[in-house]
């Protein structure tokens, strides 16, 4: 069984220009610092999307109608 490392490259998809040509070329041209910056930018982008989703969930939760009736027990 083959072990994968954290820096493992994604498996190229047959016929995909980006996977078979662009990514390997960029991998050779970019230094470690550049890779680190782009990885961090992907993480920050996903955090931004998560923030938008969380905000929308909060908005929908505020306006959610409560089902049932409130009964006072003596």
pLDDT tens digit string along 13-71? 677 888 888 888 887 888 889 889 989 999 999 999 999 999 999 998 887 666 667 78
The pTM of the whole model exceeds 0.85 = no
What DSSP assignment string belongs to 39-56? Answer: HHHHHHHHHHHHHHHHHH
Domain ranges across the chain: 32-62
Give the C-alpha separation, 32 to 63, whole Å: 47
Rg (CA), the chain: 23
pLDDT of residue 49: 97
Give the C-alpha separation, 10 to 19, whole Å: 8
pLDDT of residue 1: 44
């Amino acid at each position: 069984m083959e072990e994968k490392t954290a820096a493992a490259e994604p498996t190229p998809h047959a016929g995909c220009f980006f996977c078979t040509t662009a990514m390997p070329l960029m991998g050779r041209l970019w230094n470690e610092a550049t890779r680190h910056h782009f990885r961090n930018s992907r993480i920050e982008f996903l955090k931004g999307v998560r923030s938008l989703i969380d905000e929308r969930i909060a908005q929908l939760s505020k306006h959610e109608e409560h089902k049932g009736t409130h009964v006072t027990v003596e």
